[in-house]
Structure 1
């Protein structure tokens, strides 16, 4: 089939949107805006996940794709008398990556204000202090005001969302793209691009593209979305760690092609589903790699344990500098993943799914 040229504006908008766990509304609206013309129906569960449905023949399996909308960020937990904001991490942060970066505070009314994470000057510090990483709970945001009342006058309150202030950028090699929130906003783009490729294309399966909430704080949205969809098979879309910088020793590089996750800390991918994806990749001249992630998990860890069990796996995209204000991804990896999943949507049917179940000793569906 002919694949559409990717729309970088989708990636720019989902990357630059602000949305920590529990505050994904801004992201959800962008996803729904792009998804509405490409699907038959959009529904929401009561936790806030956005589920875009493309109906198939009416006789095929339900296929769920899942990519989470939330990014790692912070909440305002205290406003000092001197006008500094103390932060509560929402998701996994390493304090080393934060000092001197700009963050955006988003108020309950949607107003946005920029502050700077406080950082000490090195002059006069002992070597011990210089070598100590600041704990995220000890970080503070300097809003450039003189006192607490000035913060309150801006409309900033305890509990307001705080996120990195990072703009999307095509790097000097145009294959590399910089942005915030690629974990997992890049795969919101993946789902929307697959939907673009399938516009006007018949599938046997009913396709459910779920933009889920609260993954970074306990993989929560995938659970409620699964109960809403009741899928027969599911593919979680997430990122994995690129290890191709001078800080690393070997392994996963950007631009090497799509990645199928065999195992992570919380999930064993269905081997027959992995095999089907591998066959599609090879038949379409796509570069396929495999990932074994021993720390962390994806939406698949919740999905595969829901209901009476769901045939599931994770497809991953490598990213440099995960859980930091700026991440890098490869356009090549992104495009290859989109092509793989587009073809998968056209091929998956009960015959394939029954074969996957029978491979682990389960009787075919009636």
Structure 2
């Protein structure tokens, strides 16, 4: 088991507890810039709000460009309307299952950055017909109770239509401290991976220019990666995102927390570059890391839009398994996090023009 002190736990706490749905990622991007500025040569934003941190290669002008991409946005809600009685109707931003919402605390972030706490309404089971008990409430039918009596009282709190709503969940080390619970691990844990990689690379030479893109609006259409890739114009890209752990009594199918790195061979929107997958396998072997493979038949990552841009970008996804994705509380494992950081750091150290040409030739991209 890797040593706890290898990672910055406070960084993960700050990333998890920050509030940021699609199009409103400012709190998260400020954490990215404040942490990453000491390990970057340049920081820029694109016009969708993605923040891009650059770590220059030792040749300064002539190395291949690597894009690491992790999305900052979490699934959440907006204020859709306010009733005369002071209840707040919700508009889902990203994919929610109604089962995970009733009786959960939520935070409204106002235009003045005030934090207003409410609870999602639920019903007592007493006397409910079985068909009502068995029915999943649709997220659009849910409401937030702020504990006030009128629309005017809600407005006096500073709440207005379109305000961001996110789960009110503190970061927590579980009873086995290798297990970390918090909100927004999709995809804030991978934002942490990108920042830790930049920190590691600041202590060693690398030929490639490394660009870490903390992207926006992935949960609502994989939008931020599309604009960030045009800003960077990378030669190769690694999307860092989560995948579904299946090690609970609900699933029991084998994707366990704590078993190491996950190479995504394909998902429903992207086929990973085969040479890139092979290079990752070589590094895993050299570093004595643990490895498993992911074939996600539903959903995709930032790689979906990155690999189709310009003339095409050599791309794949590395995944971290998480329990309870797209719910207020998710659980990840430190070992998966640490091993992914090690893998990505070493990949960035190794990639040069010769290696890149080998990756391209793996899918028939050759001048011969």
Partner of 2:226: 223
Residues 28-84 of structure 1, C-alpha deviation per residue, up to 9 Å, x if partnerless? 000100000111010000010000000112221000000000000000000000000
The worse-fitting range, judged by mean Cα deviation, of 51-60 and 9-18 is 51-60
Distance change in 2, residues 1:3/1:255 (3 Å): closer
What is the rounded CA distance, in whole Å, between the counterparts of 1:3 and 1:166 in structure 2? Answer: 23
Aligned 8 A contact 1:3 1:339 in 2: no
Give distance in 2, aligned partners of 1:4 and 1:103.
Answer: 32
> Residue 274 of structure 1 aligns with which residue?
277
Question: Which of 353-362 and 129-138 deviates more?
Answer: 353-362
Gaps of 5+ in 1: none
Contact 1:4 1:197 in 2 (8 A): no
The residue that corresponds to 1:155 in the other structure is 158
Of the candidates 113, 127, 145, which is equivalent to residue 142 of structure 1?
145
Aligned runs of 1:293-332 on 2, under 5 Å?
A: 293-332=296-335
1:193-238 CA distances to partner (integer Å, 9 max, x unpaired)? 1111112311100000000000000000000000000000000000
* Distance change >3 Å, CA 231–CA 152, structure 1 → 2: same
Distance 2:150 2:72 in 1: 34
Q: CA deviation at 1:4?
A: 7.3
* Aligned positions, number: 364
Structure 1: 4+ residue segments shifted above 4 A:
none
Q: Which residue of 2 aligns with 1:26?
A: 27
Which aligned pairs between 1:172-321 and structure 2 lie closer than 5 A? Answer: 172-321=175-324
Listed as ranges, the matches of 1:30-49 within 5 Å are: 30-49=31-50
The offset of 1:249, in angstroms, is 3.3
Alpha-carbon distance in structure 1 between the residues aligned to 2:291 and 2:364: 28
Q: Is residue 358–residue 364 contact of structure 1 (8 Å, CA) maintained in 2?
A: no
Summarize the Cα distance change of 1:235–1:277 in structure 2 as closer, same or farther, 3 Å threshold. Answer: same
Question: Is the CA contact (8 Å cut-off) linking 1:4 and 1:196 kept in structure 2?
Answer: no
DSSP 3-state at the match of 2:345? helix
